Every structure is written in structure tokens, then in C-alpha cells.
């Protein structure tokens, strides 16, 4: 097995686990495993540094125990959202945090929600069910995607999260930059714009792992949304 101990998210998970035990909010690995939809041995492997916690498990951790996503990604030291009480089963958010907290401006789309996002990216109800977090100095309504696969290796690796700014149709794009392109699927690729009589008609999608994945074209009319990649979250840092 690999050593995942250096992953900041795994390090922060161990701290959360220890704090929940200290506050008697869980009675060991079985309690938290049940909340995260997994098994004792999986929790044990994460705590020992033998595997990474998944985005889906993170989502459930945020929901079940009100853990602050910014703490998990290493952006602040406040472990829980809002008010924490050892007398309650879980920490609680204040009303202001839940409904008026403008800081939580990044919507996270985990891998399991990619297909739904391709179909419902304009549906506020669908988006409201996804986890939210923030990153200092990244403003606006942003979307983050969990990357699955190695097509953009080494620029973006499997398990990375890319934070993106949605573009309006007609917004300028720069060839050879990385974008998330939504058709009936969601992919992260470099793009080249293909013109027909000075009008963009197609976009060529290019993988950095070009020895394995060949470029292909999609018609502009088949593209539902394009998002500019602003940064990525890796196991260790933002690049």
C-alpha cells in the first residue's frame, strides 16, 4: 500500500476523529464509519495513512459532524462550522452561517455527482444539495470538480480538485489553457478553438497525457457549459 500520511486532508481527518472521540461524539471507528457510509477497516486505513479519504466520505463528514471544509483542506484552523457543543450529538451551525454565510462560495461536485451536473448544472435545487467551501482570495460563485482519471497527467492528477469559474456563452477563451467542458459528460482539457469563416464552430479538447489520450473535437452547439480552471487542490497544496 502507498503512504498517504502526507496528504493534508488525511492529516486533518485524524485530528477530527480524535476531537470527536475526545468530546464523546463518537465511540470509535464504527460510529464514524456508519456516518460516512463505509467500514471500520476503511477508517482504520485512512487513520494509518494507507489510503485517502474520498470526496464522497468528506461530503458525509461535513454533513454529519458540521466539519468546516476549509479546515480539512488546510485553509484555516477552525475545525467545525458555527457553534460547537459537547452536549449535542453533533456541532451546530448558526442561522447566519447556514443561510447568510457569503464565504461558502465554492460548490464542490464530487465524482459521483458528475453525471447529474452535466444534466442539471443550471438547477439551483441540485446545486444546493452539494457541499460548499471557500478559499481565501477566490471570490465569486465558483464550481469545484473532483478529477477522476489520468488524462491530464501530470498537470492534473487523479483525485485532484479543480476550482473553476463558469463562463457565459460568448465569453473569450484562450487556446491551450485548461477548461472544464460540459457536454453529456464533464471533462477537464486544454482547448483549441476551431473557426469556420471567422466564427467558432468547434472546440478541440486536448489531454496532457497525449501518449494515451488523443485530441477530439466537439461542436460548439453541443457544449452546455465551459468553466475556466482557476486553481487545483492537490494532496499537498494549491498550484
Distance CA 80, CA 70 (A): 9
Each residue's pLDDT expressed in tens, for the chain with a length of 239 residues: 455 667 788 889 999 999 999 988 898 899 999 999 999 999 999 998 888 888 888 888 988 888 888 888 887 788 887 544 444 344 433 333 333 344 688 999 988 899 999 999 999 999 988 888 888 778 899 999 999 889 999 889 888 899 999 999 889 999 999 999 999 999 999 999 999 888 899 999 999 999 999 999 999 999 999 999 998 887 544 43
Distance CA 13, CA 54 (A): 11
The answer, as to whether pTM is greater than 0.85, is no
Q: Please indicate, yes or no, whether residues 118 and 65 belong to a single structural domain of this protein.
A: no
Q: Please indicate, yes or no, whether residues 131 and 193 belong to a single structural domain of this protein.
A: yes
The CATH number given to whatever domain includes residue 132 is 2.10.109.10
> Which range marks the domain in which residue 136 is found?
106-233
The CATH number given to whatever domain includes residue 64 is 1.10.260.40
Enter the C-alpha cell of residue 100: 447568510
The residue among 98, 115, 143 that closes a domain is: 98
Q: Please indicate, yes or no, whether residues 67 and 160 belong to a single structural domain of this protein.
A: no
The residue among 52, 82, 98 that closes a domain is: 98
Q: Please indicate, yes or no, whether residues 138 and 226 belong to a single structural domain of this protein.
A: yes
* DSSP per-residue letters across 22-73: HTTS--SHHHHHHHTTS-HHHHHHHHHTSSPPPHHHHHHHHHHH-B-HHHHT
Domain count, the chain: 2
Amino acid at each position: 500500500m502507498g503512504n498517504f500520511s502526507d496528504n493534508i486532508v488525511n492529516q486533518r481527518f485524524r485530528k477530527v476523529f480524535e476531537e470527536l472521540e475526545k468530546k464523546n461524539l463518537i465511540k470509535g471507528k464504527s460510529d464514524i464509519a456508519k456516518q460516512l457510509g463505509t467500514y471500520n477497516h476503511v477508517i482504520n486505513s485512512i487513520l494509518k495513512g494507507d489510503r485517502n479519504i474520498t470526496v464522497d466520505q468528506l461530503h458525509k463528514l461535513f454533513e454529519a459532524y458540521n466539519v468546516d471544509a476549509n479546515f480539512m483542506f488546510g485553509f484555516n484552523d477552525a475545525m467545525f462550522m458555527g457553534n460547537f457543543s459537547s452536549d449535542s450529538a453533533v456541532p451546530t451551525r448558526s442561522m447566519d452561517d447556514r443561510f447568510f454565510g457569503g464565504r461558502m462560495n465554492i460548490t464542490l461536485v464530487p465524482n459521483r455527482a458528475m453525471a447529474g451536473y452535466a444534466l442539471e448544472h443550471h438547477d439551483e435545487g441540485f446545486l444546493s444539495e452539494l457541499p460548499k467551501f471557500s478559499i481565501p482570495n477566490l471570490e465569486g460563485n465558483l464550481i469545484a470538480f473532483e478529477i477522476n482519471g489520468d488524462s491530464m497527467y501530470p498537470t492534473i492528477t487523479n483525485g485532484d480538485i479543480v476550482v473553476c469559474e463558469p463562463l457565459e456563452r460568448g465569453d473569450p477563451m484562450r487556446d491551450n489553457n485548461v477548461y472544464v467542458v460540459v457536454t453529456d459528460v464533464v471533462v477537464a482539457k486544454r482547448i483549441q478553438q476551431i473557426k469556420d469563416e471567422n466564427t467558432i464552430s468547434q472546440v478541440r479538447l486536448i489531454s496532457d497525457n497525449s501518449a494515451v489520450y488523443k485530441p477530439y473535437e466537439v461542436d460548439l452547439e453541443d457544449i452546455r457549459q465551459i468553466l475556466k480552471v482557476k486553481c487545483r487542490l492537490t494532496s499537498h497544496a494549491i498550484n
